[in-house]
Each structure stands twice: as C-alpha cells, then as structure tokens.
Structure 1
Amino acid sequence: MASKKLQQFLQTNLEDLAQRGLLTTIDVIDGGNGPEITIDGKKLINMASNNYLGFAGRQDMIEAEINAAQTYGVGAGAVRTINGTLAVHRELEQKIAEFKGTEDAIAFQSGFNCNMGAISAVMKKGDAILSDELNHASIIDGCRLSGAKIIRVKHQDMTDLEAKAKEAVDSGLYDKIMYITDGVFSMDGDVAHIPEIVAIAERYNLITYVDDAHGSGVMGKGAGTVKHFGMQDKIDFQMGTLSKAIGVVGGYVAGSKELIAWMKSQARPFLFSTSLTPGAAAASIKAIELMQEHPEYVQQLWEKADYFKTELKKIGYDIGVSETPITPVIVGDENLAQTFSKKLIENGVYAKPIVFPTVPLGTGRVRNMPTAGHSKEMLDRAVAVYEKVGKDLGIIH
C-alpha cells in the first residue's frame, strides 16, 4: 500500500503547481516530429521541436540507423569500458572531433548525463566553478555533483565574470577554477561572448567549458558557437548534444586527447551506462556528414528563423534578445503563458509554455523553434494565428 505521507505530499504539491500555472502537461504525438505534427487526430504547425534541420525524419538518416542495427544489433550490449565500444562509436567520436576542430571526442548517452559526467570528472572539492546564472539545468546539476564551490556569474556580464575570477584567484582557496556557459542560451536565444570569455580565461588561468547544445548545427555553419568565433583551440571543453540539430540522441565532449582519455576513465555516466545504440551513433555520423556536405541546410534554417522573428515583431510581440532561431514570445505571467499556449494549440499552432523553474518567475513565455523544414506558407499561417490569439488575449493590440 502506498505511503500516506507520500500521497499527501504529492496531492498537495500537484494542486499547488496547477494553481500557479506550473504543472507540466505532456502531449503524445501520433507519428514523427516534423514541421507539422498530429496530436489526437489534429494536425498542428509544430513550433516546439528542437529538430532544427529537420534531420530526425530524413530517409537517409533512417536508413543509416537501420543499416547499423542490422550490422551491430539494436544495442551495444555493455558499457564502453568492458566490450560496449563498437567500431561505429569510435567513428562517431572521430567525426565529432573533425567537425569541431579538436583532437578527440567522447560520446555519451544523453546531453544531460554528459554534463553530469564531464564536469564532475575534472572539478572536485577544493575547486571553484564560475557559472552563468542562466545555464542549463544539466550544468547546474553537474556543478553540484562535482563538490566544487559554485560561484554564480551575472548573465553574460563580462565585468562580473572578471571581478569574480579575480576574487577567486586572489583568495588562494581553490586548486582549479572553471568558467562554464551555454554557447546559445536555450530560453532566450542569446549567444555567449566567446572572445571576451577567452580573454578573461587567459588572464586568470581559467578552465573553459562551453555547452553548445543549441549552437551545434546552428552556429558556425553547423560546427557550433566556438567554431563560429574561431576559438576551437582556446576552449577546453566543447560539449554538445546529438539530440537537437543532429536529430538523434546522445551527447559529447570534444577537446584534447588528454582530456578525452581522462573522461573515459573518470566520467561516471560513461563508465556505468550501456553505450549509445549503434543506430544512434550511425545516424549521428550521417547528420554531421550532411552538414559538412550541404551548408545550405543551416542557411535555410536561418532564413526561416529570421523571417518568422521579423513577422512576429511586426505584429507587436516581445521576442526578447534572441540572436538565433530560438524565438521566445515573452508575456510575463505564468498563467497567461499557459492560456496563451492552449489557445495557440486550439488554433493550429503547437507552441508550449515555458515557466518557472525553467525560466525565472515573472518571465513566462511561449518558445518557438522555427526549423529548416518549415515552409514559408506554414510560418505565415503560424503568424496569422499568433496575431489572432494575441489580440483575443490582449497581449498585442
């Protein structure tokens, strides 16, 4: 029989979340996750996916996965350090390193456990981590797991970063100091100031870690934010995901041979989780090859995103400070964000509410992710729905 204490805790807190507009609802998609999706038999324009380049549903990606499964099986059968490292895993890591401009790379089963494992493999008690205050939850959890002193840095504030780096160094309390930041911030779409970060890191001998989950496949002709700024030889950790623009699942860190060798012996998710599936590894290789051979795919993404953002601004929406395809429509109130999303979906546009704790209280929004797969006609229909719903709710006039 379930614990009464647990039941009481769950009921009370679920009701509280619902009243504050913070209760998560999960919809089930019929079929694949493309520019249009079907939920409960209704076709919707999909503005919520991280499938930036439309790769998740490409036939050649599907064939790459099937061929790998036929060659290696559906699973690797073991952790990487026993006998779960297949030829396709090393091929993937070498392809990532080539694309990112580093000596080597390590592949993980997800972006989240990549951050959990990579940060804690290097940073320990007696160290300090300077962390941008809007970093992704997986970075925050990875920092906590490390046992290092966590020092919050004001978002994208290079003056604050330098002051806190100097203070940490001058204190003499720490063996190593790392600065960690998203390359592209997932909720606002702004881009990390990589050149300034590198300059400060060199002055204070900081380890540098860039989580480029939303920059890989988007910035730097697909190779990411670090490559966009030509700083691939200056950043120690280039972390990324295989589950967004790549269109599959998994995570990775690209860096020096010594760094990768260390993580392959010390990163706990790598050591104690069964390997990435052969199919996922092969499909990810195919995605990187597509970006290398067809730069127009990334260009198409930017053209669609720029068009959509321009049209939303024309009708009066606040899309914040986004410099990338990530397009938040910021309304503030959490309950309004929930209602806004519900009305958009009712009118044929699937865009989900983003509320606390994903974003700070009072900055509720609906986040849009235009992709290379959206047609101009789809985006025009979406904008028309935004105009109608926004006027109905009094968000725009």
Structure 2
Amino acid sequence: MTAFPRHEGALDQLRKRSRYRSLMPRAGHDFASNDYLGLAGSDLLRKAAQDALSRGVPVGAGGSRLLRGNADEHALLESEAAALFGTERALFMGGGFQANTAIFSTLPGHEDIVLYDELIHASAHDGMHLGRAIRANFKHNNVAEAERVILSLRDAGHTGRIWIAIETVYSMDGDLAPIADFVALADKHDAVLVADEAHATGLHGSGGLGLMHDYAHKPNILTLHTCGKGLGVSGALICGHAALIETLINKARAFIYATAPSPLNAALVRAALRSLAETPDLQHRAQETVAHAHKEAARLCGLTGFQSQIIPVIIGDDARTMEIAAALQAKGFDIRGIRPPTVPRGTSRLRVSITTNVTKETITQMFTDLAKLLERADV
C-alpha cells in the first residue's frame, strides 16, 4: 500500500489524461528555451562572470536586501536599469514569478481593482490571490471590453484605483498587446498599467528595451523586465515611479523575506543590459532568425499569423500533442508540448521558441519534419 494514496491517484489520473509532467534533460536543437538572444551560454556573459569574480564580487548575498544582503552590484544594476528603461526607480528581485507576486499582492489596495487580461501569467494570478484588491478580467487583448468592465464596476459603486495587468508579448500565444490603446485606456480612467515585458526584453522595442519603452517614463506605468529570458541570466527588474518601488521595499513580503539575488548575478545582468546598447547585432540577428522561422512555417506547414519569436502550433488533443512533441524530439529537435492548465482546454500545443541558438538551416529542417508529422493521423 502506498504511503500517499491520494497523491499517487492524482498522478495516475494525470498520466491517463496525457497531462503528467516530468523533468527532461537538455537534448537536441533548442526550440524550447527563452534564451532568445543566445546569451545564456555566451562568451560575453562568461567573460563578465570572470571579470566580476576577479574584482571581488561575491557569489552569494548572505541575507535579504534589508539585512546584510544589499550589495553594491544590486544598487548599480538598479540605477543603470532605471536610466536605461527611462523610469524613476528600478528594483531587482530573484525572478519574474517572485516579482509579479510582489506587485499584485502589495501595490493594489483592498478597495482597488485589478483588471487583467485572461491570458496573464500564472504568477500575476498568484499575486492577486495573495492581495486584497477586487479582481476582474477581460477577453484577451480586448481593450473595448476592458473599458466596459471598468464602466460596469464604476456603475456598481467601486471607487478604488484600477490596475490594468497585461503582457506585452504573450508567453503561450506569442501575440503582442495593443500597447498604445492600453496606455490611452489607463490615462482615461486614471489607472495604473502594469505591463509584463518578460518575453519582449532584449528582442522587442528600440534597442531591445521592450515594447513599453516609449511610455515607461509615465508615472502610471509599471513595467517588469525579467532577466532570465532574452537577457540570458536570471532575476527580474520592476521599473516605475519611486513611490511604487519604495512601497515594494517596505511592504512586499516576497522582497522583504527573500534572500537577495546573488551579487554576481546582478553583475551579469548589468553586462547583459550593456550588451543591448553596445551590440545591436544581437537584436538584429534574433529578429532575422524569427523572420526566417515565420517564412518557413508558412511555406512548409501553412502556419501563418505569428507576431513574435513564440510560435504556437495548436494541436488540440493532449495525447496527440505529446506524441508529436516526442516524435520531433526523437529527430533531434527540443520542442515541448504545452497542455492545460497552462493553456485553455482544447488548445494543447507545441510551443516553438525561436532563438539564435539554432541555425536557419535547422529551422527549415524542423518545419519540414513537422509538416510531415502534422499530416500523419497515427502520430
């Protein structure tokens, strides 16, 4: 008899529904990571690490930022990031999940309203559940519906401030938010726009500084730039008005009670940010690779309409999705199947991530093989 029958039973049900998850080693050509610029294993960051260690930057923080964990590298990174992204202040945290949790559990008050896109990151949902604000959603990228919800809430007597939560590039669909329209909506209703740039930083916007860069200076804009995707390191930068950053430092449990990110890691993020300005070819090469992938997806598989480096290939059925993913992995392409609850029911998909870790020839071969698999009924 198993010691944990409830847990074993739940795991068995996941296996039967083709929703069981397991850790897989890295293998094959990279079509799964978020290392869009190919920085994670680059000589650029390797040298930055060596340089930082040689000048005595510590590997560990030793405590929370409010104790002895606050290092010079943290402060330097935050100062440089605020200047780069055009905001009053920036706050460095251990990761995007932690940062989103901090934002939504801390900043909106109990009378405020968090109005969020239905496809927003899971971390934002967790932050909202920890917070005290009223929550309401709107259909994906639908600005008109978002305004209808605002007006409905006002008619119902809710007077608190509105916080609109969006992503600029959506992690599972790869489409872009209508940024200017959401900024205008926030201005019209005296709302704060919280824009998660996780999948935009490094690749999208002028100089790879994200799609919100033209608006980030506005006091009612808060942006989140994660450092473990396009920047190739780890951590996250929350950028915005000084009062919001100070509130997080003073009240966000996810900040106060967490050991500070490694000072060495902060030094590497600084190097990655500098590389955006000093090596524009990083962004250009990535954009060219993405354009090639879009062209080959259309030519070989009839797949069109993509807007970013994230190419969702909707299969629908969970089991078939995982079978096609396994077949591609067997051919040497590291492509993962994404199933509910990460995506809505009936929309299981291959999440094809385009990075500069693969050549254009490899991209063409992958879509050639994918086309054959999509045609087969027995896969």
Classify the TM-score, shorter chain: over 0.9
Tell me the equivalent position of 2:371. 387
| One of 21, 24, 37 as aligned partner of 1:24 | 21
Cα shift at 1:359: 0.4
1:163 to 2:148 alignment? yes
1:1-397 correspondence runs (5 A): 4=3, 7-29=4-26, 39=27, 44-70=28-54, 71-220=56-205, 221-227=207-213, 230-234=214-218, 235-318=220-303, 321-393=305-377
Partner deviation per Cα, 1:30-88 (whole Å, 9 max, x = no partner)? xxxxxxxxx3xxxx111001000000011221222243345132101111011211110
TM-score (normalised: structure 2): 0.95
Partner deviation per Cα, 1:224-280 (whole Å, 9 max, x = no partner)? 0101xx222335210120100011111121012222122111111111111110121
In the aligned structure 2, how far is the partner of 1:301 from the partner of 1:225? 16
In the aligned structure 2, how far is the partner of 1:222 from the partner of 1:203? 28
Q: Is the 8 A contact 1:166 1:204 kept in 2?
A: no
The amino acid that maps onto 1:122 is L
Q: Is the 8 A contact 1:131 1:152 kept in 2?
A: yes
In the aligned structure 1, how far is the partner of 2:50 from the partner of 2:253? 29
Helix, strand or coil at the partner of 1:208: strand
Cα shift at 1:174: 3.8
Q: Is the 8 A contact 2:216 2:222 kept in 1?
A: no
Cα shift at 1:154: 0.8
Gaps of 5+ in 2: none
Helix, strand or coil at the partner of 1:261: helix
Helix, strand or coil at the partner of 2:32: coil
Q: Is the 8 A contact 1:330 1:365 kept in 2?
A: yes
Q: Is the 8 A contact 1:55 1:246 kept in 2?
A: yes
TM-score (normalised: structure 1): 0.91
Cα shift at 1:315: 2.2
Cα shift at 1:145: 1.0
Partner deviation per Cα, 1:106-141 (whole Å, 9 max, x = no partner)? 000011000001222211322211010000100111
Moved more, 375-384 or 113-122: 375-384
Gaps of 5+ in 1: 30-38
Q: Is the 8 A contact 1:108 1:251 kept in 2?
A: yes
In the aligned structure 2, how far is the partner of 1:349 from the partner of 1:374? 10
How many residues are matched? 376
In the aligned structure 1, how far is the partner of 2:288 from the partner of 2:326? 28
Percent sequence identity over matched residues? 29
In the aligned structure 2, how far is the partner of 1:297 from the partner of 1:65? 19
Runs of 4+ in 1 over 6 A off after TM superposition: none
In the aligned structure 1, how far is the partner of 2:216 from the partner of 2:137? 25
Q: Is the 8 A contact 2:294 2:306 kept in 1?
A: no
The two structures, once aligned, show a CA RMSD in angstroms of: 1.7
Helix, strand or coil at the partner of 2:301: coil
Moved more, 212-221 or 63-72: 63-72
Q: Is the 8 A contact 2:39 2:232 kept in 1?
A: yes
Flag the 1:86–1:105 CA change in 2: closer, same or farther, 3 A.
same
In the aligned structure 1, how far is the partner of 2:31 from the partner of 2:251? 39
In the aligned structure 1, how far is the partner of 2:260 from the partner of 2:50? 17
Q: Is the 8 A contact 2:164 2:192 kept in 1?
A: yes
In the aligned structure 2, how far is the partner of 1:318 from the partner of 1:330? 10
The amino acid that maps onto 2:309 is P
In the aligned structure 2, how far is the partner of 1:359 from the partner of 1:165? 26
Q: Is the 8 A contact 1:212 1:238 kept in 2?
A: yes
In the aligned structure 2, how far is the partner of 1:154 from the partner of 1:73? 46
